[in-house]
Structure 1
Amino acid sequence: MEGHRIPYAFLLYVAGKIDKKKHAQPDLRQLFISAILKSLCDTLPLWMLRFLFHLSGVCEQVINGLFFGKLRKQWCRSVSGPGWKGYLIGEDAETAEIGDGADLVVIYAHGGGFVCGGALVSLVVFVDWIKTWKSSHGAKTHIVSLEYALSPEHSFPVARDTLLQCYHTLVVEKGLDPSKIAFAGDSAGGNLAVVASLELTNNPSKYSVPQPSRLLLISPVLTALKTSKSFKFNEDYDCLSTQWFDLCLENYIYNTNLLPTCPMISPLLERRLEGLPRTWVCVGGYELFLDDIKLFVEKARSQDVQAEIVVEENNVHNYAIVYPLSRDDGAQKAAKYMSRFIFGDQPVKRISD
């Protein structure tokens, strides 16, 4: 098969020659929210940004009745293991162990530029996903959302290794089948999901576990470089600023002596993607990372990785998990697309069926 693969240099050439497809500008709501987010990230100190990330999750949980009380206990409880901690999210989370009767266990790494965010910021979204996947395919899902250590207090590879330690616990200690486990994440968390999987591929003797069955990536950060056309083309449209991106990167590789071109920082630059699990990626048409994500998918496909990409033309970064940013029902469609990718076109069949 090696002789039939498309050379990476050729992919770079093609990506540079493709003309930008013209599409409508973001609507006023998207522009307004994006402008606020950029301003906050570029001006506020890190401690305040972390507080605002936490507050946004709390407000969403309060509005949806998931912040405290019976519903919260039913859907969410804290879990931990050697070297990791987080939350189990599922309709039976109060009483079930991780993976009990589940068709899929998703190990999730949240976004936030490696410096902000938290395991429960997207709790409401996770509950919606689980309900959607059950409604569309009759599937039972558990999500383990990780509370990994943030940068600059804990730089690379602490966050990545937290995901790997959780995976090791579920497979080796709890005996879960890797075919029923997925790595997932949004933005920086998508980066962690990919590099954790690459670490399993590149160091099989260090990790006595196979790959998970799938990667689910929402607007993933796949390179620390800013050379793609979409970085310039979408700079005025996306909700991320290049100044914030640079700050996050600086904090993430702080005191590591790693360059931004290191494949463990920029997995797009990894030469060997062969061996990655089946991969599903979604990205907005206004994203800074649009071209890089497209190129990653093409590169993965050229190395026999089954990869599927969804581009929602009229959406910005993280539209699939931050509801206020979503346009044209992009977030709702993403949940359904993920369900079809994970479970196929037929309902999940159980022994009791």
Structure 2
Amino acid sequence: MAAPLHPDCQAFLNFVAELGRPRFEDMAALDTRTLYAAGRKVLQPASPDVAEARDLVLPSGVAARLYRPMGSTAGEALPCLVFAHGGGWVVGDLDTHDHPARTIANLSGCAVLSVDYRLAPEHRFPAAVEDFGEAVRYAAANAVALGIDPDRLAVGGDSAGGNLAAVAALMSRDGSLPPLRFQMLIYPVTEMAQTHESYVRFTSASGLPLTDATMRWFRDHYAPESASWNDWRASPLRAASLSGTAPAFVLTVGHDPLCDEGRDYAARLEREGVRVTHVHAADMLHGVMTMSAIVKPALGYMEMAARALRDAMG
């Protein structure tokens, strides 16, 4: 049985119910992007100032945005978090996650390179993996121009972005991406088969914005072929070993169909010798990092993640 929801989370659910907002799985992908982007004005506070926010284009044409934290100087080589936004690989962009990216930069003292990877269903698995990997390589190869330290790189993301960050950490361990100091996994997707018990707990009847049906809808847009679910680039929990990956911060939340696979991933990291900080917020729901105007504790969890990043970067 799940712990009771935090009152702020319940207030969010009440607000959504009053709006009568349609569920993603009942909409076309393009319409969900518009709806998701519109929520930013209500769910997130104004984005904090940073020293610099620079729009970039990777060699492949993928957009990115580099944030430098308040208090940093132009010539300072900062540690850098390469960040992937959430949204089920279908929705989300640089702007929907502008507030979290700026907040993490300021709280950690690190630069943040946010990546506008290609979305499904126009670009299915492994397009997002390829784009995020390109961004990590780009950060290392262009460190001087970007004002970052190539020896202090990290990856992170929320939900689908957490999936991409976990995969990048495995790729780095195996030598196909530059070395990483840290991985920040915020309620990550780690298992495409969606067989964990939390999918049974959080069906459409739960009233949550993310349910088993919503996750199937996302997966069917991104990785519709069941054969791909065995690929660790889609399901990092299925990697033969997690040993040797970068130290991790893993946040899981109690009211979330992804809860159990995230907890399993954190437990495997620990068993296989990876230094991991696992925070489980039993009274929170999926997506709180982009709801901090309503769900006040969300900022505290961002502070925890940013502090872990700062400590890992020395």
| Band of TM-score, shorter chain | 0.7 to 0.9
For residue 178 of structure 1, report the CA deviation from its aligned partner: 4.3
Q: Which moved more, 1:192-201 or 1:291-300?
A: 192-201
Partner residue in 1 for 2:298? 331
- Quickly say closer, same or farther: Cα 1:210–1:102, change in 2 above 3 A: same
Following superposition of structure 1 onto structure 2, how do residues 300-339 of structure 1 map, counting pairs within 5 Å?
A: 300-324=269-293, 326=295, 329-339=296-306
Find the residue that maps to 1:78 and give its secondary structure: strand
Of residues 131, 134, 143 in structure 2, which corresponds to 1:174? 143
Does the 8 Å CA contact 2:229/2:235 hold for their aligned counterparts? yes
Equivalent residue, structure 1, for 2:36: 53
Provide the C-alpha distance between the structure 2 equivalents of 1:167 and 1:40, rounded to a whole number of angstroms.
Answer: 34
What whole-Å deviation, never above 9, does each CA across 1:272-324 have from its counterpart, x for those lacking one? 11121011011111111111111111111111111111111110012133325
- Which has the bigger relative contact order, CA under 8 A and spacing at least 6? 2
Q: What's the CA shift for 1:103? A: 3.7
Quote how far apart the aligned CAs of 1:32 are. Answer: 2.4
CA contact (8 A) 2:70 2:106 kept: no
Contact 1:54–1:117, Cα closer than 8 Å, also in 2: yes
**1:59 offset after TM fit, Å?**
6.3
Match of 1:183 among 149, 155, 170: 155
Q: Does residue 1:86 correspond to 2:64, yes or no?
A: yes
Distance in 1 separating the partners of 2:101 and 2:68: 8
Q: Equivalent residue for 2:173? A: 201
- SS of 1:258's partner is helix
Q: Which residue of 2 aligns with 1:77?
A: 54
For 1:176-217, what per-residue CA distance to the aligned partner results, in whole angstroms no more than 9, with x for missing partners?
Answer: 544421101111011011112222334x2xx3x532111011
Give yes or no for contact 1:41–1:244 (8 Å, CA) kept in 2: yes
Q: Which residue of 1 aligns with 2:27?
A: 44
Report the alpha carbon displacement of residue 91 of structure 1 after superposing the two structures with TM.
Answer: 4.2
Q: 2:85 touches 2:115 (CA, 8 Å); kept in 1?
A: yes
Aligned to 1:114: 89
Q: Is 245-254 or 49-58 further displaced after alignment? A: 49-58
Aligned to 1:213: 181
* Residues in 2 aligned to 1:292 and 1:78: alpha-carbon distance in whole angstroms: 34
**Once the 2 structures are TM-superposed, how far is the Cα of residue 26 of structure 1 from its aligned partner?**
5.3
CA contact (8 A) 2:77 2:149 kept: no
Residues 257 and 297 from structure 1, CA distance in 2 versus in 1: closer, same or farther, beyond 3 angstroms?
closer
Q: Does 1:340 align with 2:307?
A: yes
How has the CA–CA distance of structure 1 residues 325 and 159 changed in structure 2, closer, same or farther, with 3 Å as cutoff? Answer: farther
Long gaps (5+) in structure 2: none
Structure 1 residues 91 and 298: alpha-carbon distance in aligned structure 2, compared to 1, 3 A threshold = closer
Q: Is the Cα contact below 8 Å between 2:143 and 2:149 reproduced in 1?
A: no
The 5 Å alignment of 1:292-303 reads: 292-303=261-272
Q: Which has the higher strand share?
A: 2
The question of whether the paired residues in 2 share the 8 Å contact of 1:23 and 1:313 is answered with yes
Tell whether the 8 Å contact from 2:137 to 2:178 is kept in structure 1 after alignment: no
2:218 aligned to which of 244, 248, 251:
248
How many residues matched?
Answer: 305
Structure 1, gaps ≥5 residues long: 1-19, 134-139, 349-353
* One of 253, 266, 282 as aligned partner of 2:251: 282
What's the counterpart of residue 128 of structure 2? 159
